[in-house]
A and B are shown apart, each in its own frame.
Chain A
Amino acid sequence: MFDSYRSNTLQYDPVKCINCGMCTTVCPHAVFAPGENEVRLADYLACMECGACQMNCPTGAITVESGVGCAYAMFYAALTGKDEPTCGAGDDACCS
Chain B
Amino acid sequence: MSGTIFTFTTPPVHPTTNHLTLSDHWDHLRARVGINRSGHLVEPGLYSLGNPTPDSPVFVTANYTLSFDAVRSSLDDWMKCYILVLDTKGINVWCAAGKGTFGTGELVNRIHITGLADKVNHRVLILPQLGATGVSAHEVKKLSGFRVEYGPVRAADLSAYLKTHKATPEMRRVQFNVIERLVLFPVELVKVLPYLLVISIILYFASGPLAAAGAAAAMLAGIFLFPILLPFIPTKDFSSKGFLLGGLIALPFALAAYRYGIEPAPCIHISRAITPMLLMPPVTAFISLNFTGSTTFTSVTGVRKEISTYTRVMAWMFASGTATLIILAILRITGW
Q: Do A and B bind each other?
A: yes
By the criterion CB–CB under 8 Å, are A28 and B173 in contact?
yes
In the complex, A14→B133 CA distance in Å? 21
In the complex, A70→B184 CA distance in Å? 15
B215: CB under 8 A from chain A? no
Q: Given A25-B172, A55-B136: A8 and B301 within 8 A (CB)?
A: yes
A17: CB under 8 A from chain B? no
By the criterion CB–CB under 8 Å, are B303 and A71 in contact?
yes
The stretch of B96-104, B262-270, B322-330 in contact with A is B96-104
By the criterion CB–CB under 8 Å, are B136 and A2 in contact?
no
By the criterion CB–CB under 8 Å, are B236 and A5 in contact?
yes
Number of A-B residue pairs with CB-CB distance less than 8 Å in the complex they form: 166
By the criterion CB–CB under 8 Å, are A69 and B292 in contact?
yes
Provide the A1-37 mask, 1 if CB < 8 A to any CB of B, else 0.
Answer: 1111101110000000000001001111110000000
List CB contacts (< 8 Å) of B268-313 with chain A.
Answer: 289-290, 292-307, 309
Query: Helix, strand, loop or mixed for chain A's interface?
Result: loop
By the criterion CB–CB under 8 Å, are A71 and B133 in contact?
no
A41: CB under 8 A from chain B? no
Provide the B136-174 mask, 1 if CB < 8 A to any CB of A, else 0.
Answer: 111000000000001001000000000000010100111
Please name all residues of chain B whose beta carbon is closer than 8 Å to the beta carbon of A72 when the two chains form the complex. 290, 293
Residue of A1, A47, A48, A86 ringed by the most chain B CB atoms within 10 A: A48
By the criterion CB–CB under 8 Å, are B303 and A74 in contact?
yes
Please name all residues of chain B whose beta carbon is closer than 8 Å to the beta carbon of A8 when the two chains form the complex. 299, 301-302
Give the B-binding residues of A (Cβ under 8 A): 1-5, 7-9, 22, 25-30, 46-52, 55-56, 58, 65-75, 86-91, 93-96
List, sorted by A's number, 19 A–B pairs whose CB atoms are closer than 8 Å: A2-B240, A4-B305, A4-B306, A5-B299, A8-B301, A8-B302, A25-B129, A26-B132, A29-B174, A29-B297, A30-B169, A48-B298, A56-B136, A69-B295, A75-B290, A87-B99, A89-B89, A95-B94, A96-B34
